[in-house]
Structure 1
Amino acid sequence: MAVLFVGVEFSLRNIPNDYKYKADYLKTNSANIETLVLGNSHIYRAVDPTYLGPNSFSLAYVSQTLDLDLALFDHYKDDLKSVNTVILGITYPAFAKNLKTAAESWRLKNYNLYYKLPFTYTLADYSEVLSNSFETNKQLWWNYYGLDQNMIKCNALGAGPLNENRNLLKRGPAAAKRHTGENPEYRSELLEKLTDLFEYCATQDIQVVLISPPTHKAYREHLDPNQTRDFLNYIDSVQKRYSNVKAFVSFDSEDYQDKHFLDGDHLNAAGAQKFTERLNSILEEINGI
């Protein structure tokens, strides 16, 4: 039985995935990266390094909460010898939600297994077999070994733009409800870690750019005004406090139409190109290019 378990575990870990792809990319390219993108799915969909300057890469991903962004940077910072800009997403759910308590907490095992980031310490979070249901693993195994499907969803530079338009009016309110909440202890921990990030980057002459991409009104209209005010005020306050921190907030921009959105809170590929090109212009201004 033990031999069977090990064999299945090995075969599942051998299946390509985005976490493994990004970890492998960093193994060979971390010293050359100049612009690093961090964030949740809002950033993963909205910022495509294809439209940024050379040597840009995205570590943003689906359900990747802010504590994980900060842990990833801390984990790799000594290898990022050329980085001069960190783009960090601060969006509406940033201070309210963490992956440990979310419905998709099963994703935590990917940080342990592929980034070698010891973020949790339960046995299931170190195993593909134990972290997913039998049906999920069976389908994953069949898709790769049986159907020879491409399992990598991100593009070559780590981003996830999609050429789709989903149901904005239905998905917007549902996402707003899912992202709304309070977590004072988590917020306090994040504020300390963000301060550490800003101060470390200042000593290394690294520019930090905080971003909040556009969202559709079908999402914004259902958000809690206090939570909205909190994250926007935070972005405004830290860029005033730290000379190496700038902000690009398009959260409530009316300059994006339905055709630019994947759903209520994510841009699609067209929206990502538009947003990233504008972001790149701001980076060029910051860097005096």
Structure 2
Amino acid sequence: MIKQITVFFIPVVLCYAVLEWSVIIIPMSYDKVQQQITTKPDAIKVMVLGSSQMQAAVNPAFLDKVTVNYGSKSQHHKEDNHIMEQSMVRFPNLETIVFELSYAHLEIPHNGKDFWKNTIYLKYYNVNAFERNTYFKDKLVFLSSPSMYAKKFTQYYLNDDDQEEYNQYGYHTNNFKGAFSDLDYNDEKITLRKFRIRDRESLANFAINTPFFYDMIRTAIANKKKVIISCIPTYKTYLNKRNPAILKRRDSILEDIRLKFPEVRFFNLELDTITFRARDYLNENHLNPDGAEKFTKKLNQVLND
């Protein structure tokens, strides 16, 4: 009986070990961020939070002050808040926190307590976003989203895809392949392209998210951190398709923050269609590394003011 259990158990353990090893290779941005925050916590002066838009837009290599960019796909203010609250104390020389407030941010529902990326935060950032005690399995990346990681595993080992390259800050430096590059950055073709944009209003989410965001600002200020609220550049076709009601509510909050928190600074390049052209974008609302260089250098000026 013991022999049978052993024969079954060892392959299972080896299988999980191989899978965990493989996915450590795949999310290299998280691995690089982990190295940065664990080896040089005293050097970090700036913390960037937000979604994939912030992840793609801020390349810390172009900043004078050492910066950790925690931005990542599908990340909302709830995850931002967990990261901020649990990480601030680890960076004794942290000066500034950069928040994101994109066009529809306040009308998107928060992710649930079992959001698959909670495993990433725990494994790589030592941040518990589960809102409960954690267990061994909570750090098993593959189990957090088996279908997604199985696909990535296949792409990495079997399809001979171009390998992603990351700098020491976890920024994806060769991230140029996207909808716009597929169209050769041709304005006419891009104008005709169909794309998804959130245009469904949600006053219920707005009523929850707005005070939550205000509390995040208060927490940062209470901990003597400077606050910058950022709005990422978006392509002209994206700007034209925004829901005016959603936009008006978001803009009203930006103005209210100006009145309630005079110490907060704003870095809003959402409407900049002069500096940022088609060749600076992956798609309608994500910059590529060229666009990120422009954006980050402008952010550098704000941080140095």
TM-score (norm 2): 0.77
Alignment of 1:223-234 (within 5 A): 223-234=242-253
Equivalent position of 2:19 in the other structure: 12
CA contact (8 A) 1:173 1:218 kept: no
CA deviation vs aligned residue, 1:110-160 (integer Å, no higher than 9, x gap) = 22433343323799865434333468427517836x899997654322333
Is 1:34 aligned with 2:55?
no
CA contact (8 A) 2:56 2:286 kept: yes
Equivalent position of 2:5 in the other structure: none
Equivalent position of 1:140 in the other structure: 153
Equivalent position of 1:222 in the other structure: 241
Alignment of 1:202-213 (within 5 A): 202-213=221-232
- For residues 12 and 55 of structure 1, the distance between their equivalents in structure 2, rounded to whole angstroms, comes to 33
Query: Which secondary structure state, in structure 2, belongs to the residue aligned with residue 234 of structure 1?
Result: helix
- Closer/same/farther in 2, CA of residues 241 and 158 from structure 1, 3 Å limit: farther
- Closer/same/farther in 2, CA of residues 223 and 147 from structure 1, 3 Å limit: closer
Query: Which secondary structure state, in structure 1, belongs to the residue aligned with residue 117 of structure 2?
Result: helix
1:191 Cα offset (Å): 3.0
Query: Which secondary structure state, in structure 2, belongs to the residue aligned with residue 175 of structure 1?
Result: coil
Is 1:197 aligned with 2:216?
yes
Equivalent position of 1:117 in the other structure: 127
Equivalent position of 2:199 in the other structure: 180
Which of 119, 124, 144 is the aligned partner of 1:131? Answer: 144
Structure 1, 39-48 or 161-170: larger mean CA deviation: 161-170
Alignment of 1:70-149 (within 5 A): 70-98=81-109, 100=111, 106-120=116-130, 127-133=140-146, 136-137=149-150, 140=153, 143=156
1:8 Cα offset (Å): 2.5
1:72 Cα offset (Å): 0.7
Query: Which secondary structure state, in structure 1, belongs to the residue aligned with residue 229 of structure 2?
Result: strand
1:33 Cα offset (Å): 0.5
Query: Which secondary structure state, in structure 2, belongs to the residue aligned with residue 208 of structure 1?
Result: strand
- Closer/same/farther in 2, CA of residues 46 and 142 from structure 1, 3 Å limit: closer
Aligned length: 279
CA deviation vs aligned residue, 1:229-255 (integer Å, no higher than 9, x gap) = 222222222133113311111112222
Equivalent position of 1:49 in the other structure: 60
Equivalent position of 1:240 in the other structure: 259
- For residues 66 and 52 of structure 1, the distance between their equivalents in structure 2, rounded to whole angstroms, comes to 24
Equivalent position of 1:158 in the other structure: 170
1:7 Cα offset (Å): 2.7
Equivalent position of 2:286 in the other structure: 266
- For residues 32 and 192 of structure 2, the distance between their equivalents in structure 1, rounded to whole angstroms, comes to 29
Q: Which has the larger radius of gyration?
A: 2
1:13 Cα offset (Å): 2.6
Is 1:278 aligned with 2:278?
no
Amino acid at match of 2:30: Y
Equivalent position of 2:33 in the other structure: 22
Amino acid at match of 2:227: V
Task: Give 5+ residue unaligned stretches, structure 1.
Answer: none
